[in-house]
Amino acid sequence: MAFGGTVSAHPLDGAVVAVVGASGALGSLVARGAAARGAGLVLVGRDEARLRAVVEGADVVVGDLGDATLGERVVEVARGRHGRLDGVVNAAGVVAFGPLADTDDAVVEELFLTNVVGPLFLARRVLPALQESGGFLVNLSAVVAEHPMAGMAAYSASKAALTAADRALARELRRSGVDVIDVRPPHTETGLADRPIAGRAPAMPTGADPARVATIIGEAIVGDCADLPSEAFVR
């Protein structure tokens, strides 16, 4: 069941899709999967060399998700090179571990800037282009939006906030033709837990295969699914 009601399938053959966080383990797989389905790509991230290595010939936008103007540049490149923008996948994010009482204010701020505020900045600026094309917006939240974890209070709260924003956006955009897909995968072997901005990851069982997670996200885009809870990845 979609947050905003009935949704449309979004074929990727010939579509123009921006992937934010495209140099990351999951973002790169989503980007390659979209390219394999025939999409033209705008790859977005902070490292130009790594972005250019993801999909040969793809357009690249170098920038940080916390920059409020990033979405404007994404739309400018997509329209300038392809004439339109059909979809945006936000696969960027940061994680931190440890009790909230021991977490610096700057860490809490960075979690919310990257995981919540940045995606909202991005959405505000890409939505007009997506409304023109009847496109889609995908945000990668996390299982902790459903099941908050001790030792990850600020991170859990940031992901829950992103999911709440997606739910509201889906309803706001119901009549505009733009579909919002909220993705809440379980712990996935992307290496993100090994690169926290603070703290140290607790012992965790082996996570989901990122290639499989990326495949399920791609299937949701081309299908008619606008909600991917954690159980959608357990088959």
Active site members? 155
DSSP-based three-state secondary structure for 113? helix
- The phi, psi pair for 98, rounded to 5°, reads 120, 160
Vertex 162: Cα angle to 157 and 165 (nearest 5): 125
Give the DSSP H or E segment for 90.
strand 87-90
Contact indicator for 226, 214 with CB cutoff of 8 Å: no
Q: Which two tokens stand for residue 77?
A: 């490149």
Closest CA to 83 of 133, 36, 149, 145: 133
| 179-183, strands of its sheet edge to edge | 59-62, 40-45, 16-20, 87-90, 136-140, 179-183, 227-228
